Amino acid sequence: MASFLFQAKTIDGRMIKGEVEANDETEARLKIRSKQLVPLKVVSRQAQGQKAKAKPIGFFEKKVNAKELQVFTRQFAVLVGAGVPIVQSLESMATGGRSPLLLKTLRQVTADVEKGRRLGESLKLHPLVFDRMYINLVQAGEEGGVLDTVLNRLAIYIEKSVKLRSKITKAMWYPGIVIVVAFGVVTGILVFVIPSFVSMFQQTGRELPWLTQAVIKLSAWVAKYWYILVGSFVSAPFIIRSYYQTSEGRKTIDKMLIEIPIFGDLIQKSAIARFSRTLSTLLAAGVRIIDSLEIAAATSGNYVIEGTLMRAKDSIAQGKTVSEQLRKSKHIPEMVSSMISVGEQTGAMDAMLSKIADFYEDEVESTADAMTALVEPVLMVVLGGIIAVLVIAMYLPIFEMAGGV
């Protein structure tokens, strides 16, 4: 028997840690549930020790590109499907043309498999390259004797995930770039243009309008403390990211993001598309519904959706269906819960989830295009308004002097 460390939630919502003896992770989870606990994380003591010895992942740690992983998975599926043994397949792919990290990982995995370790267990030792979903699918494929089929599904899943992530990233980058440019333009006007008007106004000795006085004061503050302003602007993304990496920060930011008009709609649809595609792929490969929901929750990308899926996972142990729990969430559309309900009744839940994923991936694409088209004029109007206020503030005294003459 092996020793497993776990984190679990009690009936009253408290978080506890402990240790249990079991033959495998499945048995360990069953033992934890028998103690009236909901297991959140279960890991063998041996794996925990190996993780502790591993190099920590830094802020800018290099990872394997998703596209490269997709190509490797597709090639692996072709070789396995052609009847080539796993060791020989891995050896043939552990050659040049791949990133150093993936090459090193493939060689280590090949060596482990040659020693008799199963492929899934070997992949577990490299979490920087293979995530939990990848490992679970490979293990399911090994157990069911359909590894080539599972690898093909994985390649399709990674390809669709990359496409979805790319669409969202492009939609987010444009407003970000415009905001940075706007910040630079406004700061430049305040620091270099406004002071040239101030000396001219001082020579007249006239009392300036309140708007002009406010802009001059703002310009003087920016000129004096520009390093604070620039430093805050540059460090803000890193501070927000560090806060987001905490459980409380992620909870707060994700709740706020999903409620924001326009952006929230995009985030909600992308989370639904992501968890539907993940859950469909896992269930089609024969992974247990409870494990599938837990993995799908982790890949959803939003705390609100993740929490809904985790509650759905817990409700299964009480004899309820997934759709029952999803209907309780305002962030899960009625269409989604209805289609999942049909899938549960007909035994074709993976097919229904795949259709949901297809629909919402198209929705994400159209929403991202619409958002980009809408954000562009809004940002231009805001930027133009700010510059207009600065210009008016500087020319008001000139107009007054012209009127007095």
The string of pLDDT tens digits covering residues 206-227 is 778 888 889 889 988 988 888 8
**Inter-residue contact 42 to 29 (CB < 8 Å):** yes
pLDDT value for 182: 84
pLDDT of residue 98: 78
Sign of the Cα torsion 101, 107, 112, 118 reads positive
Q: Is 359 exposed, middle or buried (0-12, 13-18, 19+ CB in 10 A)?
A: middle
Task: Note the pLDDT of residue 239.
Answer: 92
Domains 66-159 and 160-405 share a fold: yes
Confidence at residue 357, expressed as pLDDT on a 0 to 100 scale: 92
pLDDT by position in tens, the chain (length 405): 678 888 777 766 677 888 888 877 777 877 887 787 877 777 876 655 544 443 434 434 457 788 888 888 888 989 988 888 888 988 888 876 678 888 889 999 999 888 888 898 899 888 888 888 888 888 888 877 888 888 888 888 888 888 888 878 877 787 788 888 888 888 888 888 888 888 777 777 677 888 888 988 998 898 888 888 888 888 988 999 899 888 888 889 999 989 887 788 888 999 999 899 989 988 888 888 888 888 888 888 888 998 899 888 888 877 888 898 899 888 999 999 999 999 999 989 999 999 999 999 899 888 888 877 787 788 888 888 888 888 888 888 887 776 654
User: Taking the domains of the chain in order of start, what are their residue ranges?
Assistant: 2-53, 66-159, 160-405
Check residue 47 and give its pLDDT: 56
CATH code 1.20.81.30 for 160-405:
yes
| CATH no. of 66-159 | 1.20.81.30
